[in-house]
Structure 1
Amino acid sequence: MASVWVGNRGTIQNVGGFNPSRDAEAIRKAIRGMGTDEKTLIDILPGRLNAQRQMIAKEYKAASGKDLKDALKGDLSGHLEHVMVALVTPPAVFDAKQLKKSMKGSGTDEKTLIEILASRNNKQMKEVAQAYYTIYKKSLGDDISSDTSGNFRKALLTLADSRRSESPIVDAHLAKNDAQILYNAGEKRWGTDEDKFIEILCFSSMPQLRHTFTEYQNLSGKNIEDSIRSEMSGHFEDLLLAIVKCANNTPAFFAERLRGALKGAGTDEFTLNRVMVSRSEIDLLDIRAEYKKLYGHSLYSAIKSDTSGDYRTTLLKICGGDD
C-alpha cells in the first residue's frame, strides 16, 4: 500500500529482513528491567519506516499488553522521549497533535500552523483533518477559526480544506492572467485586495504557481516575495511567503526551518523533531542538500554541534549521513 507520507528522497529506507515481533521483543527487553537500554531503541526505531514501526507497536502491545508509546513515555525523558514518541506516531496523527499543540492554551504558535498547512498536499491534509477529528472530536477548521482571525484565518481555512489543484499540467495563459490579477490586486492599486492573493496562492497547483511567479516577475519587474513583503504584514504575510517558498522549493523551505531551530541561543527541539521525523521518508535527502547549499555546512554537523547524548545519536541516525 503506497502511503501519502512516503516519497523517494527520504533518509529512512526499507530494510530487508524486517521482523516486527523480533524488534518488539528486543524493545521490550530494552525497556524492561533496571534502567533502559537506549542503544537498542536507537538501533531499531529510527532505522525502520513508520509503517514498520506501527507493526512493531502492534506486536509490542500483543506481547506486553501495553502501548509502545506509553512505554517509551514512561521510560524516557526530555528530548529523547519526544523524538522517540514522534517516531512511533502515525504521520497524520503526529501532524494533528502538532497542530493542536500550536493552538492550545494562551497564545498561538503561528509558525507551526504555517509550516504544516503550507507544506502538506491535499491527501496528507485530508488524513490530518480526519485524525484531528478522531482524536479531539472537533474539526480542525473550527479550532483554526476560533484561534486565528482576519485574512490569516481565511487563508489557513482554505488550506485546511485541501482544495488546491493537483493537476500536473501548467496553463501558460492562466499563469499570465493570474500574474496580472496579482499585480492589479497589489502593486498596481492603493491598498491591497488580499482575497485575490488567497484565491490564487491557496488554490493553484504548485507547478502552476511557479509559472505564475515567473510571469509576475516579467510583468512587474519584482519578484512575488518582495511584493508580498511590501503589501502584506504579520502572520498573513508569513503564510503567503511560506506558500511561495514551498511552491518554488519545498526542501529549501524546510532547510530554512531547521536552520531557525538550530541557530542562536537554545535549540528549538520541537521544530527540529517535527521536521526531521515528518520529512525523513519524504525528502530529507533533498533538505540536506539545500541546507549545505544555503549555509555552507552540513545539516549533520549542525545537529552534531547543537545537540548531545542519545538525543543527538537518534537525530543523526534520522539525518542519515554527513554531506
Structure 2
Amino acid sequence: MATKGTITAASRFNPQDDAEKLRKAMKGVGTDEAAIIEVLAHCNNSQRQQTKMEYKRLFGKDLVDDLKSELSGNFEKVVIGLLMTTPEYDAYELRNAIKGAGTDEACLIEIMASRLPSEIKAFTEIYKKEYGESLEDDICGDTSGMFQRVLVSLLTAGRDESNEVDEALAVKDAKDIYEAGEASWGTDEAKFLSVLCVRNRKHLHQVFEEYKKISGRDIEDSIKSEMSGNLEDVFLAIVNCIKCRQHYFAECLYKSMKGMGTNDCVLTRIMVSRAEIDMEDIKEHFFKKYGKTLYSFIKDDTSGDYRNILLELCGDQ
C-alpha cells in the first residue's frame, strides 16, 4: 500500500536562509520558538541535514548544541529528533531505552517490531558507530529469556522480504503455532518466534487466516491467552505491524494520550519518526478507530510550543 507523510520537501528551500533564520531565532534575549517551528517543521529531513551543515559553515557552531542551550522539555526533544537522520533517531531512542534508569521495553518493542529489515540494518550500523557498542550486546545485557531471543531474532533483519506465499507451508505454520500454544499443555514460544519473526508479510497474512480456520480465534487472542508481559507485548506488536503498521501506530498514539497524563516519549517518537513516512495514513486509521482526529487529541492533550510543533507534524485536521 502506498503511504504518505505530512511533511514533504520544501519547494523553495534555501539552507542558508534557514540557517540564518534559526540563528536569528536564538540570538539576543529570549528565543523565537515560532521561527524554529516554521523552519524545521516545513522541510524534509534531507533539507534539515543541509541546514545543519550550512549553520556550521556560516557560524562555526553546531546547530543542535545551540538549540539544546536555548530550549527545554518536550519541545526540545521534538526539535532535536527532527535534526537527526531516521536511523540516527532510532538508534538514539534505543540507546535511551537501554541506558536510562531501568529499561524501556515498550520502546524496544515498538521500534524493533515495526521497522523493515533495511531500517533495522541502518540503525544497527549507526548505533555501533555512534555509541561504540553492539546493539545486540546492549539488548542482551538488558533483557532475558524468550523476550530477549525475539528481539535478537528481529535484530538480525533476516525476515524474508519476498511476496511469495507457500500455501502448504502456511497451513503447516498455522498448525505448528496452534499445537505449540492452544493445543498443548504449556506454550512452545520458540515456534511462534520461528514463524512470526522470519516469514514474509504476505505469507504471514495467509498463516493468520489458516490459524483462524484451525482454532476459531484470531492469533492475537491466542497470544493473549498463552503469554504475558513483554513477550505477549512483542508478539502482539509483530502481528499488528504485519497486519497494518499504520493501524499499530494509531493505537500506540491513542494509548499515549488516553486517560490521565500523557506518555510524551511515545507521542514524540511516533510523531517525529513517522511524519515523513506515513502520518497521513496513521491519521486515517486513528479517525476510523476512535471517531476523533489525531489533531484534536494532540491539541487537547498537550500545550505550548510542544503542542504547536506536534500539530505541524500532524498536518491538517
Q: Indicate yes or no: 2:163 matched with 1:168.
A: yes
Q: Indicate yes or no: 2:109 matched with 1:100.
A: no
Give the whole-Å Cα distance in 1 for the aligned partners of 2:103 and 2:34. 36
Sequence identity percentage: 48
Q: Given that residues 125 and 162 in structure 1 are in contact (C-alpha distance below 8 angstroms), is that contact kept between their aligned partners in structure 2?
A: yes
Q: Indicate yes or no: 2:27 matched with 1:32.
A: yes
Amino acid at match of 2:223: I
SS in 2 for 1:47: coil
Paired residues for 1:227-238 under 5 Å = 227-238=222-233
Q: Given that residues 95 and 116 in structure 1 are in contact (C-alpha distance below 8 angstroms), is that contact kept between their aligned partners in structure 2?
A: yes
- Deviations along 1:100-145, one digit per CA (max 9) or x if unpaired, are 1111144211111000000000110001101110111110000110
1:18 aligned residue: 13
Q: Indicate yes or no: 2:229 matched with 1:220.
A: no
Q: Given that residues 26 and 70 in structure 2 are in contact (C-alpha distance below 8 angstroms), is that contact kept between their aligned partners in structure 1?
A: yes
2:145 aligned residue: 150
2:63 aligned residue: 68
Q: Given that residues 256 and 262 in structure 2 are in contact (C-alpha distance below 8 angstroms), is that contact kept between their aligned partners in structure 1?
A: yes
CA RMSD of aligned residues (A): 1.1
- Deviations along 1:13-35, one digit per CA (max 9) or x if unpaired, are 12212111111111111111221
Give the whole-Å Cα distance in 1 for the aligned partners of 2:101 and 2:280. 36
Give the whole-Å Cα distance in 2 for the aligned partners of 1:228 and 1:19. 51
SS in 1 for 2:12: coil
SS in 2 for 1:203: coil
- Deviations along 1:257-306, one digit per CA (max 9) or x if unpaired, are 11111112221111111000100111111110111111110000000011
- Deviations along 1:205-229, one digit per CA (max 9) or x if unpaired, are 1221111101100111111011111
Give the whole-Å Cα distance in 1 for the aligned partners of 2:306 and 2:184. 52
How far apart are residue 8 of structure 1 and its match?
Answer: 4.1
- Stretch moving more, 182-191 or 108-117: 182-191
Q: Given that residues 171 and 207 in structure 2 are in contact (C-alpha distance below 8 angstroms), is that contact kept between their aligned partners in structure 1?
A: yes
Of the three residues 177, 184, 201, the one matched with 1:182 is 177
1:3 aligned residue: none
Give the whole-Å Cα distance in 2 for the aligned partners of 1:67 and 1:212. 50
TM-score by length of 1: 0.96
Q: Indicate yes or no: 2:50 matched with 1:59.
A: no
Q: Given that residues 250 and 286 in structure 2 are in contact (C-alpha distance below 8 angstroms), is that contact kept between their aligned partners in structure 1?
A: yes
Q: Given that residues 117 and 160 in structure 1 are in contact (C-alpha distance below 8 angstroms), is that contact kept between their aligned partners in structure 2?
A: yes
1:197 aligned residue: 192
Of the three residues 262, 281, 284, the one matched with 2:257 is 262
Give the whole-Å Cα distance in 2 for the aligned partners of 1:84 and 1:155. 32
- Deviations along 1:218-269, one digit per CA (max 9) or x if unpaired, are 1111110111111112111110000000011111111111111111222111
Q: Given that residues 181 and 187 in structure 2 are in contact (C-alpha distance below 8 angstroms), is that contact kept between their aligned partners in structure 1?
A: yes
Amino acid at match of 2:97: S
Amino acid at match of 1:175: A
Give the whole-Å Cα distance in 2 for the aligned partners of 1:106 and 1:68. 28
Give the whole-Å Cα distance in 2 for the aligned partners of 1:105 and 1:29. 34
Q: Given that residues 3 and 281 in structure 2 are in contact (C-alpha distance below 8 angstroms), is that contact kept between their aligned partners in structure 1?
A: no
Give the whole-Å Cα distance in 2 for the aligned partners of 1:219 and 1:302. 40
Of the three residues 2, 9, 12, the one matched with 2:4 is 9
Give the whole-Å Cα distance in 1 for the aligned partners of 2:149 and 2:130. 24
How far apart are residue 172 of structure 1 and its match?
Answer: 2.1
Amino acid at match of 2:181: G
Q: Indicate yes or no: 2:120 matched with 1:120.
A: no
Amino acid at match of 1:51: S
Paired residues for 1:282-297 under 5 Å = 282-297=277-292
Amino acid at match of 1:304: K
Number of residue-to-residue matches in the alignment: 316
Q: Given that residues 192 and 231 in structure 1 are in contact (C-alpha distance below 8 angstroms), is that contact kept between their aligned partners in structure 2?
A: yes
1:244 aligned residue: 239
Q: Which runs of 5+ in 1 are unaligned?
A: 1-6
- Deviations along 1:140-199, one digit per CA (max 9) or x if unpaired, are 000110100000000000001110111122222221121111111111111111111001
Amino acid at match of 1:264: G
Q: Given that residues 8 and 281 in structure 1 are in contact (C-alpha distance below 8 angstroms), is that contact kept between their aligned partners in structure 2?
A: no
Amino acid at match of 1:257: C
Q: Given that residues 10 and 282 in structure 1 are in contact (C-alpha distance below 8 angstroms), is that contact kept between their aligned partners in structure 2?
A: yes
- Stretch moving more, 24-33 or 194-203: 24-33
